[in-house]
Copies of this chain bind each other. A is one copy, B any other.
Amino acid sequence: MSSSVAPIPDEQNGATPAFSPLYQQIKGLILQSLQQGQWKPGEVIPSETELAARFRVSQGTVRKAIDELAAENLVMRRQGKGTFVATHATPQVQYRFLKLLPDTGNDRIAGPAQRRVIECRRVRASADVARALALRSTDAVVQARRILSFAGVPTILEDIWLPGQAFKGLSAEQLANYPGPTYAMFELDFGVRMVRAEEKIRAVLPDAQQAQWLQIGAGTPLLSVERIAYTYNDMPMELRRGLYRTENHHYRNALN
Contacts and interface: CB of A to CB of B under 8 A. Distances in A.
Contacts of A222: 203, 221
A249 to B, nearest CB: 8
Contacts of A99: 253, 255
Contact of A198 (B72, B196, B197, B253): B253
Give the copy number. 2
A147 B96 CA distance: 34
Interface residues of A, number: 30
A250 B200 CA distance: 6
Interface in A90-141: 96-97, 99
Contacts of A252: 198-201
B219 A205 contact: yes
A166 interface: no
Contacts of A204: 203, 221, 246
B256 A201 contact: no
A194 to B, nearest CB: 9
Interface in A186-241: 196-205, 219, 221-223, 227
Contacts of A205: 219, 221
Q: Lowest 8 CB-CB distances: which A-B pairs, in order?
A: A221-B221, A203-B221, A202-B246, A201-B251, A203-B203, A197-B255, A200-B250, A199-B253
A96 to B, nearest CB: 7
A73 interface: yes
Nearest to A226: B250
B246 A199 contact: no
A255 B199 contact: yes
A228 to B, nearest CB: 10
A151 interface: no
Contact of A250 (B73, B202, B246): B202
Interface string A58-85: 0000000000000111000000000000
Nearest to A243: B203
Given A72-B256, A199-B253, 13 more contacts: A96-B255, A99-B253, A196-B256, A197-B254, A198-B252, A198-B254, A199-B254, A201-B251, A202-B246, A203-B204, A203-B221, A204-B246, A205-B221
Nearest to A103: B200
Interface string A13-56: 00000000000000000000000000000000000000000000
Nearest to A253: B199
